[in-house]
Structures are given as structure tokens and as C-alpha cells.
Amino acid sequence: MGRRPLDIEKIALDLILSDDTVNKKKLAQKIFNIAYKKGIYLSSIHQFYIARGKLEFGGFTVPAINLRSMTLDLSRAIFRVAQRNNAGAFIFELAKSEMGYTNQPPVEYAAVVIAAAVKEGYSGPVFIQGDHFQVNAKKFGESPDKELEDLRVLIEEAVGAGFYNIDIDSSTLVDLSKATIDKQQYWNYEVCAKLTQFIRKIQPRGITVSVGGEIGEVGHKNSTPEDLRAFMQGYAKRLRKGLIGISKISVQTGTSHGGVVLPDGTVAQVKLDFDTLKTLSEIARSEYGLAGAVQHGASTLPAEAFHKFAEIDTAEVHLATEFQNMIYESKYFPKELKAKIYDWLKVNAAGEKKEGESEEQFFYKTRKKALGPFKGEIMGLSQDARDAIAGEIEQKFEFLFKQLNSVNNKDLVNKHIILKRVISRKHHEKEAVVHDGEGAD
């Protein structure tokens, strides 16, 4: 008798619920091995974005989706939407901060997403991104070397786990008090160049990690063409000659992460500057060969705004908070569990409550911090409950893919992204092996 096939969902759930790092890595490797045999590969979107920068195609926006909870169920929903719409250009991502408060280290996140692809019968490249690998301005001011070393450790861990797309956010170092735009952007492009060089040094051979830069901190002053040019010119000078640079640029156009919550708990309407976004995308492509501009903090925008991103050729849009909100507000999410989480927040996040802030504002702002501590209980919900919650959010994914016109681009992705399996060589050295005899880049 042959061996029984491994249950990919059970392996993924064991991985999610394990607190042992070594065990997580073993379970993740099992998942990756199964996926490779089915033609599912963690990939970089770099070549696809460079082709877009050369104006080979356009007219759609790549959704980059942060999954803070129920990652297995929601990844499966995304792959179902992708298959129904023949989509290949979509990104799963997790921010530096989210890895902490959701208790999802890179190896877990990557493996769970890949397990979802296997479960749904998806095949081809899968893009996982480190979102907002952000420099802490205060810590950088106190000890630049230590802050950058901490980021290098995170980047190496993420790339080692298959995050072949990394967004560097050193826009926190932009200093608007400086007299010239070049001086305002100096530490931003300096640090972005240093971290790009580090990524090029540690990326697996044959893989060009897609790197993103950022010129305006989300929630602050809107970006300008002058900001973009100052950053790109400074970055080009600081980047070691011959190295491949960034493939896209994140800008600020009026949004804030998570939206602005009103005293009654509803989210304020955001006025997003689409003209600025369009102008910066055009400059990024025509002058620097990038895929275009990236919009952060967009998931809580009004539904009628999303079609505009594709119309103005925004390269990528980041979506996170709305999906977390939909989990918490779902009629299928147990009221008892939500009450338990809110009671926990009253104690464990009490220091974050501001004077004059309503309880609704406090819970909305802090409830993301409970996703890690309550990960086991959320994933311990009945399969029926998880399926029902994921089904509601799947409808939102479907809406977004269509509004962003991120449909019928699977063939384009397959044309530009050659599938490669990354295997270990020596202790810290890795190389990419071309799959099925196809040529290297």
C-alpha cells in the first residue's frame, strides 16, 4: 500500500498553532515541498513591474493584501477569486509591525499562504511581500547603526522565508524642516539605498527581489513631483554602481492607515488626491522606468473610489484594515469572543486610551493588537463559522479585483515571471534552480 497523502490543511493549522520556532520551520518546509511538486513557487514580481515600467502593459492595479487573522481561510478565498478571474498579479503582504501584534513570523505567513494555494488547486508564482519594513525615526536618531542592523536581521529572515518582495519605508526619516527638498529626503534615500544593497547581497542567486521605496509617510504631507525626483536622484547616486534598484515607489496622497475613526466608531470619509497619484505614477514610469506609484492605507476608502486606481494606472494598492474590520463585525464572529477580546484590551491596551476618546474609538484603534494573543481562539472557531466569515470577505476580494481591473492577467504574469525553486546550498548560501528546464532571467 502507498503512503496516504499529507493533509496540507492539518499541517498548516499545526504550524499556525505551534509556538516552537524549529517545529514551525519543519512544518513550513513540508508545505513548500508539497507546493513545489504542484508547480507553486514563491516568486518576485520585479520583472513584471519592470516590464510595466517599459509600458509593455497597464490599465490595472495590483492588489497587495495584508492578512492579519484567519490567514489560511482568507488566502484560500483570494486564490478562489484569482482563479475565477484568471488573475495572476496579486500580492500577499505583512508589515513589520503586523508580524509582531498578529504573532505571524515570516516563515509561518509564507507557508500558510502557500498551503492555501495547494488546497485551492492554484499553480504558478505566488508573491509575498514585506510591507512597511519601516525605520523608527526616534531609534534611528539615537543609534542609526543599531536600527539598521535590526532591519537587516528582519529582512534576512523574511527573504529566507520566501518574501521575495520587500517594501523599505525610510520615509519616516524625511525632515520637512530642512531648507531644500534634497536635504529633506537625504536620510530617506541614503537608508533606502543601503538596505537595497543589503537585499541584493543576501537574495538567492537567480532571484531579483522586488524592492519598493517610499517618499512620503502615510498620514502626513502629500507627496510632490519634486519629492519624487529628489529621492530618485539621491537614491541613484547612493546606490552602488551596477546594482538593480527599486521597482516602484510609495507616495502619500491623503490617506491614513486604518482610516480615521469618529467618536461613534464609524470611519471618516477620506479625500484622496488622485491627480497627485496619477502624476507621480507617470513620472515614476517615464523618467525612472518604475512600475509606477503605490497607494497605502486604501482599504477603508469608499467603494466608489476603487475603480479610479486602475483608470490612472496606479501600480499597486495596499489593503489591510477593512478585512480585519469585517472579521470583527461579522455576524458569524462569536459575540462572546469579541467581548472577551474587548475586556482584554481594557487591561492590556489601557495605556493607549487618549483623553476624550470614546470607547468605540479606543477599541477600533487597538483591537488589531489582540489578534496575536487570540490567534488560537480565532482559528479554533468551528469550520462553519470560519467558512462563513471568509465567504463574506471573499465577496469583498472579488469586488476589489474587478474594480482594480486585476483580472485576466495570469498569462502576462506567466510570460514575465519564470518559476524557480530556491534550494539551500551551503550554510547561508542559496541559489535558484530553474523549473522544468526553462531559461534563467
**pLDDT (average), residues 133-154:** 97
pLDDT of residue 264: 53
Question: pLDDT of 5-15, one tens digit each?
Answer: 569 999 999 99
In this prediction, residue 270 carries a pLDDT of 55
Q: Which residues of 133-166 are buried (b: 16+ CB within 10 A; e: fewer)?
A: bbbebeebeeebeebbeebbebbeebbbbbbbbb
Asked if residue 124 has pLDDT above 80, the reply is yes
**279-332 pLDDT, tens digit each:** 999 999 999 999 999 998 776 688 888 999 999 999 999 999 899 999 999 999
Q: Which three cell numbers stand for residue 323?
A: 478585512
Whether pLDDT at 436 is above 50? no
Computed from CA positions of residues 271, 275, 281, 283, in that sequence, does the dihedral angle turn out positive or negative?
negative
Q: In this predicted model, what pLDDT tens digit does every residue of 341-386 receive, in sequence order? A: 999 999 999 999 888 889 999 999 999 999 999 999 999 999 999 9
pTM reported for the whole predicted model: 0.91
What is the pLDDT confidence band of residue 255, given thresholds at 50, 70 and 90?
A: low
- Separation CA 411–CA 127 (nearest Å): 15
Share of the chain above pLDDT 70, in %: 89
Residue 435 in this model has a pLDDT that exceeds 50 = no
Question: What's the confidence (pLDDT) of residue 271?
Answer: 64
Band (pLDDT 50/70/90 cuts) for residue 131 is very high
Average pLDDT of the residues in 271-278: 85
Dump strand ranges (E) for 364-437.
420-424, 430-434
Mean pLDDT estimate for the chain: 90
Among residues 388, 263, 259, 376, which one has the least CA distance to residue 325?
259
Q: What's the rounded mean pLDDT across residues 16-33?
A: 96
Determine the pLDDT at residue 252.
86
Which has more pLDDT, 258 or 30? 30
> Is the pLDDT confidence value at 190 over 50?
yes
Instruction: Over range 244-258, report the average pLDDT.
Output: 80
pLDDT of residue 162: 96
Q: In whole angstroms, what separates CA 273 from the centre of its chain? A: 22
User: 381: which DSSP letter?
Assistant: S
pLDDT at 439: 31
What pLDDT does residue 425 have?
34
Please say if the pLDDT value at position 403 is more than 50.
yes
What pLDDT band is residue 60 in, cutting at 50, 70 and 90?
very high
Least confident of 83-87, 197-201, 339-343, 420-424: 420-424
Mind spelling out the 3-state secondary structure of 315-359?
CEEEECHHHHHHHHHCCCCCHHHHHHHHHHHHHHCHHHCCCCCCH
What integer pLDDT is reported at residue 178 of this predicted model?
Answer: 94
Cell numbers for 376, please give them. Answer: 488560537
pLDDT at position 231 over 70: yes
CA–CA gap between residue 342 and residue 297 (Å, rounded): 24
More confident residue, 430 or 283: 283
The values of phi and psi at residue 43, to 5°, are -140, 165
Q: Is the pLDDT assigned to residue 263 strictly greater than 60?
A: no
Q: The C-alpha cell of 6 is what?
A: 499529507
Residue 212's nearest CA partner among 50, 100, 54, 58 is 50
Residue 413 and residue 125 in contact, taking contact as beta carbons nearer than 8 Å = yes
